[in-house]
Structure 1
Amino acid sequence: MSYQTILLSQEGGIATITLNRPEVMNGLNATMRREIAAAVTEASAEARVIVLTGAGRGFCSGQDLGDAKSLDAADFERVLREEYEPMLNALYDCPVPTIAAVNGPAAGAGANLALAADVVIAAHSAVFVQAFARIGLIPDAGGTYWLPRQVSFARAMGAVLFAEPITAEQAAAWGMIWEAVPDADLAATVQARAIHLAAGPTTAYRLAKQALRRGLDNRIDEQLALEARLQAEAGRSHDFREGVMAFLGKRPARYQGH
């Protein structure tokens, strides 16, 4: 599939999706939302890890306010349900690990797009801004779901009401993201992390993602039952047998992803 607003490349089991509208700080329009959802689905069929990043000096500025329908309040619900939800669900339900490499500002829906990834690695120059209140809106694109779970209710409320930039280092300290690294080290750090995941037990990663996400809302009895069921599935995998044999043989494991 050819894309107009993103770039999709794949090498060594690592797929990289680059938001490619640098002239508007990779602002999200209808085409980009559709293409991100399609690219995640396409890449996950073959790749063992997906990296999402932005072209130019920013990750994503959120909704492109220059888009013709951006200020049409009558269209808000339709756009969120029909365009944002498929994009976010594609990331949330992706069977392989996803990494958001935040190379610069991530604002509004752009910040929440990054937080939908499994792991967020940000350059020190990056900031996360729940900018919605600045234009009289509430957080969307999953922000009201992720933030209270990641940074506590109190910090989520402050981030939303004050709409102040949260630095990458602050986000890491709060638990919003996995790590913040110097700008010069971002590409190498993300590459090393992606290589590690691409060589890992893909089935176990997929099942662990399911368990962790369900655990956000399950009761303890529900979660223990889910762990037992998913662990049984993991235990039937080739990767489990390979991992045990590699441990016993004192050699690196050669996981095949099934």
Structure 2
Amino acid sequence: MIFDPDTVDIPKSYETLPLTDVKVSHHPAGAPEATPVIVVTLNRPEKHNSFTLEMMHVFEKIYPMFDVDERVKVVVLTGAGKMFCAGADLERGFSGMEKERNKDHRDSGGRLALAIHRCRKPTIAAMQGSAVGLGMTMSLPAAIRIGCQKSKYGFVFPRRGLTMESSSSFFLPRLIGYSNALYLITTGGTFPPTSPHFGTLFQETYPDPNQVVARALELATELAENVSPMASYLSRELMWRNPGSAEETHLVDSAVLYHMFSGKDSKEGIKAFFEKRKPNFNATLEGDAPPSFPWWSDVDTGRRPKASKASKASKAKL
């Protein structure tokens, strides 16, 4: 059974949210209300932005907000300081993990990745510094990754005695091919973003960290001003939620495209083209989605509900 999700309260300003080790900014910063471009910054520079359970909970809180907030068009994800993310916080280890059956466990990195993946607003990962482990896998659900040529990146799991996490065994080979993915995961090595082992994982690279963030903001602004959020999201889902054969894909994308031909964003996009102006796209999934959406079966990744400690104590007295 898939339960209805909790309702999401959208804040007037994201900059006022009380968050742990994650900073959310408007672009330009200080704007009184949410802007089309939102910047999410991993904010533990003294720990090289190593990721914690508390930070994962922040992502599970803010990304559903971005998803339903029509003011937000693009998210830029970056890190404070010299590193993008040094992976999971190994100093804290796994001591905070709840004791449970293997099949009931939900990898915190996977929960983070799915929060980004399920958001209809694209994320641009501005990886201004080095990243390993979870720092790499969190970038895989992003639509675009921009790296720094002076930094090193890698999937170091086998060098820590660990296997792939964050649903990366799904994302990585689909992004760069099985051959490259196998090399990176087998060696566990770190390489510059221009290494051939990454294939086209990093769509753009720059020599200076500041250039990485500046380019991400420039690109995010360009997307927010010129791209239909709904058309962009549905196109990405057509790739990720592919039914598996050319014939089945033809049926799925035909139904979606036929609906989009008569949609308000298509009409606005064509009108803006001929009038030589920026479009004002305002179609939403809630009001304008194709009848076939979603064309895939939703998977409930939640855990089974558990009785509260108070309920258990009450039962024990009976």
TM-score by length of 1: 0.90
- The counterpart of 1:193, out of the listed 219, 234, 242, is 219
Q: Which residue of 2 aligns with 1:41?
A: 64
Which secondary structure does the structure 1 equivalent of 2:195 belong to?
A: helix
Taking the aligned partners of 2:278 and 2:251, their CA distance within structure 1 comes to 29
CA–CA distance in structure 2, aligned partners of residues 134 and 76 of structure 1: 26
Deviation at 1:76, TM superposition (A): 9.8
Output the aligned Cα RMSD. 2.4
8 A Cα contact 1:10 1:47, kept in partner: no
- In structure 2, the residue matched to 1:51 is 76
Q: CA deviation at 1:71?
A: 9.3
- 1:124 aligned residue (145, 149, 164): 149
Q: Which of 13, 22, 31 pairs up with 1:6?
A: 22
How far has the Cα of 1:69 moved from its partner? 2.1
| Structure with higher helix content | 1
Name which one, 1 or 2, has greater alpha-carbon Rg: 2
1:210 to 230, 237, 244: 237
Segments of 5+ residues of structure 2 without an aligned counterpart are 1-16, 28-34, 284-318
Deviation at 1:238, TM superposition (A): 2.1
2:110 counterpart of 1:85: yes
What letter corresponds to residue 259 of structure 2 in structure 1? E
Aligned length: 256
SS of the residue aligned with 1:204?
Answer: helix
Aligned: 1:28 with 2:28: no
| Closer, same or farther: CA 14–77 of 1 in aligned 2, 3 Å | farther
Q: Tell me if 1:18 matches 2:47.
A: no
SS of aligned partner of 1:7 = strand
Structure 2 letter corresponding to 1:7:
K
SS in 2 for 1:180: strand
CA displacement at 1:243 relative to structure 2: 1.3
Matched residue, 2:137: 112
- Deviant stretches of 4+, over 4 Å: 70-80
Equivalent runs, 1:61-100 vs 2, <5 Å: 61-69=86-94, 81=106, 83-100=108-125
Report the residue type matching 2:152 in the other structure: V
Q: Structure 1 unaligned segments of length 5 or more: list them.
A: none
Q: Which TM-score applies when normalising by structure 2?
A: 0.74
Distance in 2, Cα, partners of 1:138 & 1:71: 19
Q: Does the CA-based 8 Å contact 1:25-1:57 persist in structure 2?
A: yes
Give the secondary-structure state (helix, strand or coil) at the position aligned to 2:281.
coil
Task: Report the Cα offset of residue 209 of structure 1.
Answer: 1.3
Q: Give 1:155's aligned residue.
A: 180
2:262 pairs, out of 236, 239, 243, with: 236
Counterpart amino acid of 2:224?
A
**How much has 1:172 moved relative to structure 2?**
9.1
